[in-house]
Amino acid sequence: MDKFFSRVVLGLTFASLALFGSSLPSLAQGQLVTIVIVRHPEIDTSKTSEPVVPLSQIGRERAALLIHTLRDIKFTHMLGSHTTRSREAIEAIARTENLPITLLPAPGSMLDGKPVDDQTSRRAAIEPVAKALKELPRGSVALVGLNSENVYAILNKLGVSLAQEGHSCAHGSMCVPCTNNSCFPREDFDRVWYLVRDPDRETPVAYFEFRYGAGWHPTER
């Protein structure tokens, strides 16, 4: 089922690109940038006030589903926010691809006079992650682990429009409902956002949101 979902999304993306005609750069020529964004899975709630907040056992089980969901995609870059949980969400895939994970801002670096750790505002990642994604070279395929506090804001900075105040996003539209977590479904840990960008364009060429792990249930403990 997970493999099916990943292939469906890829197929829809390529079909949508075809609708734009020959004015777009060719995928075969590596002229576009593909970005896959995931929110981290469930965390260990007993650690929420500590400098390191890891995934829970259920969260690790859910993260393992991503390996199968995204296994047909060959990534070139791995990025995440500065939090341990965003790194843990994608590190198994990074090991499989033999790629380092760039966390922004860098854990241990200084921000506002304090070292960056899991207690640093998750919104601190918005500007550096968005900038890094915009600067990816053509042909890049990036996997990004983020948090509820920064997903929508980063999507917006990548050209996904913001809904008008007091309005929601129409189903299937290229839109985010807000740029913080006030409208984010906090208990949703299975969403994937898929963008295809032309670095010369403000708006993504293609944008989809889907879920992974259909029918999966965590191990009872």
Give the pLDDT confidence of 11-51 residue by residue, as tens digits.
Answer: 444 434 333 333 444 444 468 999 999 999 999 999 999 99
Asked if the model's pLDDT at residue 205 lies above 90, the reply is yes
Q: Does residue 220 form part of some domain?
A: no
pLDDT in tens, 137-196: 999 999 999 999 999 999 999 999 999 887 888 887 899 999 988 999 888 999 999 999
Cβ within 8 Å of residue 19, ≥6 positions away? none
* Per-residue pLDDT tens digits for 83-121: 999 999 999 999 999 999 999 999 999 999 999 999 999
Could you tell me if residue 25 is inside a domain?
no
Nearest to 85 by CA among 102, 113, 63, 105: 63
In a domain, 180, yes or no: yes
Place of tokens 């996997």: 143
Q: Is 28 within the bounds of a domain?
A: no
| Cβ pair 187, 59 in contact under 8 A | no
Domain assignment of residue 141, yes or no: no
Three-state secondary structure call for residue 46? helix
- Rounded alpha-carbon distances, angstroms, from residue 118 to 54, 142, 177: 9, 23, 26
Residue 142, in any domain of the structure: no
Both tokens of 57, joined, read: 């056992």
When pLDDT is cut at 50, 70 and 90, the band that residue 221 belongs to is: low
Reduced to 3 states, what is the DSSP secondary structure of residue 80?
Answer: strand
Domain around 154: 2-19+33-132+147-211
Distance CA 41, CA 220 (A): 17
- Chain centroid offset of residue 186 CA: 15
Q: How far is CA 38 from CA 62, 192, 216, in A?
A: 12, 5, 17
The confidence score (pLDDT) of residue 198 equals: 94
Q: What's the pLDDT at 28? A: 41
3-state secondary structure of 198: coil
Q: E strands along 95-213, which residues?
A: 101-104, 110-111, 114-115, 141-146, 161-162, 175-176, 191-197, 206-211
Would you place residue 9 in the very low, low, confident or very high pLDDT band (cuts 50, 70, 90)? very low
Which residue matches tokens 């304090």? Answer: 114
Residue 140 lies in a domain: no
Count the domains in the chain.
Answer: 1
Task: Please report whether residue 139 resides in a domain.
Answer: no
| Half-sphere exposure of residue 42: CA atoms within 13 angstroms, side-chain side | 12
**Which CATH number do you get for residue 157?**
3.40.50.1240
pLDDT bucket at 220, cuts 50 / 70 / 90: low
